[in-house]
Structure 1
Amino acid sequence: MASIVQTELTLPAAMRMQQLVQDYVRGLTRLAGLPEDQRESLSLAFWEACRNAVEHAFDAENPGTLKLSGTLTPTTLVLSLGDQGLPFYQMQGVRDATPDPASPAPVCRGMASVSSCFDEVHWSYHGVEGNELRLTKNLTGVCGPPPPEAEAAGDRLEPAEPAAPETYTVRLLRPGEGLRVAQLIYRVYGYTYPHKDFYYPDRLDHDLATGRLVGVVAVAGDGEFAAHLGMTRWDLGPLGSVGAFMVAPAHRGRGLTKLLGQRLQAEIQTLGLVGLFGEAVTIHTISQQIAVGLGYRVTGLKLSDLELHFNRLPRRDGPSSSWEREADPGLQRQTLVFIFHYLAPPAPKTLFPPPRHREMLTKIYGNLEVETKFLDPTLPTGPGEIKIHFDQVSGVGTIQVNRIGSDTRPKIIQARRDLCDLAGAQVVGLCLPLGQGGAPHLCEAAEADGFFFSGVLPQFAPDGDFLRLQYLNIGLEPESIHLYSPFAKELLTYILREKERVGP
C-alpha cells in the first residue's frame, strides 16, 4: 500500500445510493486492514451521515449531489462528506435521537452516534463551497505503557529517584522514535495529556516523516529520553506551534528547558516560517513562563476553550506549587493564553479597529512590537465569505469571516444560535479580519448578540490578522485562571469587563 491513498466519488443525493456509499467505505476500510465488524460499523455510520444530508440539506426540487472522499495514511483513515445544500448548522436533523442501547445490532445509528464509531468528528461550513463533515478513524494502537485499567487497579506510577548528575545529548527527534516519546509522555503525564496523538508512536513517526512535527530530545548517557520539545505544522504553512514540552521526573532541574529551546529555535530558523504561536493552559503558569522566556507575547485569552483531564502524579517531595495542591483532579474546562512570536521584524500593519477596543488593541500590538496605522471604518459591500467549524469532541464552534460583505451580519448571528442550540457548542469563537473596513461594524453587531472581546490572532486571516470575539454557552470560574505576565492579567481584566458589558 502507498504511504497515502486519496480517492473521490460523486453521487446524486438520493436514498437509492446507500449501497454505493457503503461499498465505497467498505473498500477503503478493507484496504486499511480493519476487521470485518469495524468495516460494517463504519460503512453504516458514514451512510447515516449521508442520509442526514439527503433528508435535511436538499429538497425535491433541488436534489443536489454528495461528494465523498477518503484519505488513507499509515495512521488514519479520513472520510469526508461534502454537499452544497442547506448549511449544516441549520439542519434540524443534525441532532437525531441516540439509538436504543438495547438494540442487538452492533452498528452506529443516527448522527448523534457517529462519534462512537469514529475517533474525530468535525463539521465545517465553507460558504458557497458548502458543507463538509470530516470523520477520522485512527488505525494504530497505543504504545507499550500499561492501559488505564491496570493503573486504576493499583499499578500506580512510582515517584522517580533523581538521576545522577550527567551531560545530555540534545538532538532532533528521528522517524522511528515515536515509541520512546510516547513512553516519556506516559512517565510525565500518565494518560492525562490532552493531545492524544503523542500516545501513538505510528502517528508521531508519520508526522515526523512528513514535516508536520519537528521534535528535539535530550538523551541521557544510558540512551533514555529525558526531555522533549516539539513544533507542529499541521498544514505545512508559514506558522508553527511549539509545545509538547516534557521532562522526565528524574531529570528535572537540569536546565533542559533552555537547551531544548535553543536547539529547536535553531532548526526553526531553517524553515522560513513567519512566526510561532501557542496556547498555554492556565491551571498553572509554568508553560506561560517558559513561553515568555522564549520571546512569546500574549495576544489573547480563550476562555473555557479546552476540556482537560488533570491528574496529580506522584512526587517524592510532594506538590511543588500551590496549583498542584489546590487543583481538583478530573475533567475541567480550561482557559488558554494565546501567545505569538514573530521570527523576523514584521512589516507595519494597516488595521480597522472597533473604536471601543482601539486602546486595548494599541496595547496588544505595542506588546508585539508591531507598528500599526489605524483607519476609520467603512461600510461593507458585495457578498461575504465565512467558514463555520464545529468540533464535536471539544464542543467548540468557530465562525471565521474571510471576507466581510453586506450579508455577513445575519449569517454570523444565525450561525452562533444554531451552533449553540442545534449542535450543542459550549464555546463559540468569532474571527473578524482587522484588515477590512467592515470589521468595526460587524464587531458591534456581534457584541449585541452576546459576543465579547477575546484578543488578536496575528497572521491567521487570509489578509493579515483576526480580531477574536467569543461567546460562552457555559459558566465561567475566573478564580481558576492563573496567569504569569502582568499584561495577561491586564488583558483578562479587560475581557471580563467586556463580557459583563455585553451581558449573558
Structure 2
Amino acid sequence: MTQALRFRLATPQDAVAIIACVRAVRGEHYPIRLLYAPEELAQAIAYARLVFALALLPSTGEVAGLAALEPSPYGRTGEMGVMMVLPTHRRRHVADDLRLLLVAWARQHGRRGLWGEVLAPVADSPDAACVSQRFTENAQLVPSGIALGLWPGPGGERQSFVRYARPLPAKASSKACRLPTRHRALVSEILGRLNCPVSFTADSPASGAGILDAKHEEGLRSWVLAVPRIGSDSAAELAGAIRRIQTHPDVAYAHLELPLAQPGASALCELAEARGFFFSTVTAEPFHDGPGLRLQWLAQPIEPNGLLLLNPLARRIAGHQSREQERVRPWAVAAAA
C-alpha cells in the first residue's frame, strides 16, 4: 500500500535529505552543482535564495519529491525551477501539490509574475516531448521568451527552453521603458498579455554609480550578468565583463538582464548586441522599478526556427530571435575569434 505523503516547506536542516533525493533521481550528473553541496544549499535555504517544497514519506522522513522557487533578488518575480519526484511516486499529482505550496509562499511574500521554463524539442522529436508545453497552454500561461542551448542534454547537444510566465493579478499603470525600436512591438505584446502595459520613451544618459552582478554556473558552463542599477560607469563595466566571458574557453553561453525603466537601458542593450548578444526573453517585474529584458550570447550558434513550438506567440518570438541572432552574428564571430 502506498503511503500518503506529507507536504511542507524545507528548512536548512533538510539539505542532506534534498541532496539524497537529487541523487536518487538524477545520479551525480545534475548540472546545478549547488544541489550536491550540503553547506551551501543549507545557506541558500536559510536566506530564501532558494525556497523548496518537499513531499515526505511520514514513516521515514525521506524526501520523495521536491520543487524549488528562486526569488529574484532585484524585484518581485520568481522562477519555478527544479522539480524532481522519485519514480515510485510519479503520476500521483505530487508535482501539482508541490507547485501549489510554492505559489502560496510566493503570494504570502508579495512575489508576482512567477515564471518557469519548459523544454522546446527540435522539430523531429516525438510528439510526446511537447506534453509540458501543452500543460502551459492549458494553464493559460504566456510565452515570454526562448533560452537557446540552456541545458546540456544527451550526447552533448544543448537543449533549448521556452519561458512561460503567469500574468500579473491585474493591469497596472503603464511603465515608460527604454528599448531599441526593433524590439518594441514584440516586447509590448508580451508584456501586455502579462498585464504589464508599457510605453516607450527616448533613452537618456544614466548617472551615478551603477551595479553589475555576475553569477557563474559551472555545471552549465554559463554566466548570468545583471545590471539592477544603471549608472554612468555601467557601459565600461559591462563591456569589460562581456570581454572576460567571451574570451574564456569553457563558457557555452551567457545571459544579460537589463532594467528597461531606467535611463541608459537602450544604450546598454545596443552595447551588448554590438558584442554578439541577442534577444532572449522579457519579464514583467524582475526589477523593483519594472520590466526587464534578457539578452543571450552563444559560443556556438543555435537555430531557434528548428524548435517545435505549439504557441503562435512563441513561434513569433523564435522568428524575432532568429533574425536578431543573424543580425549580430558578425559581431559574435568577432568576439569568439
> Structure 2 length normalisation: TM-score?
0.75
2:305 touches 2:318 (CA, 8 Å); kept in 1? Answer: no
Distance 1:184 1:422, change over 3 A: closer
Residue 192 of structure 2 is matched in structure 1 by 366
Identify unmatched segments of 5+ residues in structure 1: 1-163, 311-328
Residue 329 of structure 2 is matched in structure 1 by 503
Distance in 2 separating the partners of 1:423 and 1:383: 34
Identify unmatched segments of 5+ residues in structure 2: 122-128, 331-337
Distance 1:478 1:213, change over 3 A: closer
2:203 maps to 1:389: no
User: How far does the alpha carbon of each residue in 1:304-351 deviate from its partner, in whole angstroms, 9 at most, with x for none?
Assistant: 244x3x4xxxxxxxxxxxxxxxxxx34343334334335643622222
Distance 1:236 1:214, change over 3 A: farther
Distance 1:497 1:347, change over 3 A: same
Counterpart amino acid of 2:284?
P
Distance in 2 separating the partners of 1:236 and 1:387: 12
Counterpart amino acid of 1:427?
Y
Distance in 1 separating the partners of 2:55 and 2:248: 47
User: How far does the alpha carbon of each residue in 1:157-182 deviate from its partner, in whole angstroms, 9 at most, with x for none?
Assistant: xxxxxxx5664433334554444333
Following superposition, the deviation at residue 285 of structure 1 comes to 4.6
Q: Residue 9 of structure 2: which of 172, 175, 183 is its match?
A: 172
Q: Residue 187 of structure 1: which of 8, 13, 24 is its match?
A: 24
Residue 337 of structure 1 is matched in structure 2 by 162
**SS of equivalent residue, structure 1 residue 377:** coil
2:118 touches 2:133 (CA, 8 Å); kept in 1? Answer: yes
**SS of equivalent residue, structure 2 residue 314:** helix
2:54 touches 2:67 (CA, 8 Å); kept in 1? Answer: yes
> Structure 1 length normalisation: TM-score?
0.53
Distance in 2 separating the partners of 1:404 and 1:177: 38
Distance in 1 separating the partners of 2:53 and 2:106: 11
Residue 105 of structure 2 is matched in structure 1 by 267
Distance in 2 separating the partners of 1:406 and 1:265: 38
Distance in 1 separating the partners of 2:46 and 2:266: 43
Residue 55 of structure 2 is matched in structure 1 by 218
2:73 maps to 1:248: no
Distance in 2 separating the partners of 1:370 and 1:407: 29
Following superposition, the deviation at residue 413 of structure 1 comes to 4.6
Distance 1:287 1:245, change over 3 A: farther
Distance in 1 separating the partners of 2:306 and 2:11: 38
Counterpart amino acid of 1:297?
V
Q: 1 or 2 for the larger relative contact order (CA 8 Å, sep ≥6)?
A: 2
Distance in 2 separating the partners of 1:406 and 1:174: 41
User: How far does the alpha carbon of each residue in 1:118-176 deviate from its partner, in whole angstroms, 9 at most, with x for none?
Assistant: xxxxxxxxxxxxxxxxxxxxxxxxxxxxxxxxxxxxxxxxxxxxxx5664433334554
Distance 1:221 1:292, change over 3 A: farther
Percent of matched pairs sharing the same residue: 31
Distance 1:260 1:444, change over 3 A: closer
Distance 1:246 1:407, change over 3 A: closer
User: How far does the alpha carbon of each residue in 1:464-486 deviate from its partner, in whole angstroms, 9 at most, with x for none?
Assistant: 22222233232325477454544
Distance in 1 separating the partners of 2:241 and 2:168: 36
Following superposition, the deviation at residue 192 of structure 1 comes to 2.6
Counterpart amino acid of 2:202?
P
User: How far does the alpha carbon of each residue in 1:178-235 deviate from its partner, in whole angstroms, 9 at most, with x for none?
Assistant: 4433333333222232223333455544544444443333345755543222323485
1:354 touches 1:439 (CA, 8 Å); kept in 2? Answer: no
CA-based RMSD of the aligned residues comes to: 3.7
**SS of equivalent residue, structure 1 residue 503:** helix
Counterpart amino acid of 1:474?
Q
